[in-house]
Chains A and B, each alone.
Chain A
């Protein structure tokens, strides 16, 4: 069956450290993988998109890797801040241009 799995437990880290979130998928062949941030009571906000032929993408303190052999993406936030605390969603763009979301990982950055 098709699955997208993200870190099931909340991730608690200290301010200034690097947060690493994992997204694994099975039985999908996505051309694109996207990461979104969601705050309570709000809709998801797009962060980064990476294509299947790209290994790594960076944007300011964010870095995403995409390994289509392992069927895995890693999402890194360097020099994390309490304002980075949120739920982070991995989403695959599949046939028909629809997004298939993982359940999300809650990140808590403590000062």
Chain B
């Protein structure tokens, strides 16, 4: 069974540009989460989808971040316009119907904003 995949693995962009990160969860997983780790800090929650609905987006830093999960399959996280402080590693995770079960993480996308 394929794990959680994320694309791209690395992205380097200029301040003010737009970047879109993609996450493909494990097939059949209803729950999809986005987290990020900025330099020197702990991994922090961004938002949680149940199927195509946003269950909790309390961790989204501001309105420059837009997450979607069309059709309840893959998800995208768009940052527009990107700022220097958005640099970090963005992780996606998914879990099965029981949201309190273990979360399976992808390898992350390393975003560098110059």
Q: B-contacting residues of A (Cβ < 8 Å)?
A: 4, 31-32, 34, 36, 41-46, 49, 89, 93, 96-104
Contacts and interface: CB of A to CB of B under 8 A. Distances in A.
A93 B56 CA distance: 14
Given A96-B58, A98-B45, A101-B43, A43 B31 contact: no
Contacts, number: 57
B1 interface: no
The binding surface of chain A is classed by DSSP as: strand
Interface residues of B, number: 26
A97 B100 contact: yes
A101 B44 contact: yes
A74 to B, nearest CB: 19
B43 A97 contact: no
Given A97-B100, A98-B59, A99-B103, A43 B45 contact: no
